[in-house]
Chain A
Amino acid sequence: MVAHEDKVFKALADSSRRRLLDRLRIKKGLTLSELCERHDMSRQAVTKHLALLEAANLVVTIKRGREKLHYLNPVPISEICARWIDRFEAGRLQALDNLKQALEENERDPH
């Protein structure tokens, strides 16, 4: 259990990996090639980052024919939240989050 949580924190502690997650939040089911397109990283580097993200269960893959499609899986992050965020705070945090999102609306990538 602890070991898995370490993997999640380690996987998130890298800006390239966070960018890959950002990309998968916006566009679902991308292949390795599609993920490489927009990043100034080698295919090998992307593959390595994805392997770490997959091991942390932050990225899930599904095989479709010969292709492997990548999806963002936010469940481990939700599990971490559940550990520290008190249930009665959730409503207020959601309100803050919505406010933040509304303020940042213009800077967000189009869905």
Chain B
Amino acid sequence: MTHTEFVYTTYIKTTPEKVWNAITNPEFSRQYFGSELVSDWKKGSKWQSISNDKDACKMVVGEIIESLPPKRLVMTWHHPEDEMDKSEHSRVTFEIETIEDMVRLNVIHDRLKAGSDMARGIAVGWPLVLSCLKSLLETGKALNVRALKDHVRTNPAVKKAAAQ
């Protein structure tokens, strides 16, 4: 089986602590991610994405593998129905680094099955999530969270748009 990986980077005018808080605080993730990312963010703990919005993207869950605030967070990532099937478990690494007066945020999503719906979904989702996160931290506004949701829900979005 072939695996694929994606590396996403954004530079944000803020502090590492604020980036860490934006990742781990559901009040923030609701705004830039489209659902709340909930966990106690300690090594070995579970995390999950929660949304009351029926239009939100499919639920994702996983386990925290490494947690070094405010520098590094590593977690597994899969749909709840794939809990027992380890081959469906991908991995997300957040690296937060200060570069001059900016913070460089790397998101590495690997161990993904090449060509899978998950791989396609995250390839559309992460760039939007990160540009929303940057906008939220720099301007206090996450302007395109709705756009993000529409993008992440690939086929339903097309159907809905076509019906309008």
Contacts and interface: CB of A to CB of B under 8 A. Distances in A.
Contacts of A98: 154, 158
A85 interface: yes
Main secondary structure of the interface of B (DSSP, over half): helix
B9 A57 contact: yes
B158 A78 contact: no
Main secondary structure of the interface of A (DSSP, over half): helix
Given A91-B160, A94-B157, A62 B7 contact: yes
Contacts, number: 84
Interface string B102-133: 00001010000011000000000011101110
A105 to B, nearest CB: 14
A28 B4 contact: yes
B135 interface: yes
A75 interface: yes
B7 A75 contact: no
- Interface range, A side: 20 to 34
A57 B132 CA distance: 17
A92 interface: yes
Interface of A: 4, 28-29, 57, 60, 62, 71, 73-79, 81-82, 85, 87-92, 94-95, 98, 111
Interface of B: 4-11, 106, 108, 114-115, 126-128, 130-132, 134-135, 143-147, 150-151, 154, 157-158, 160-162, 164
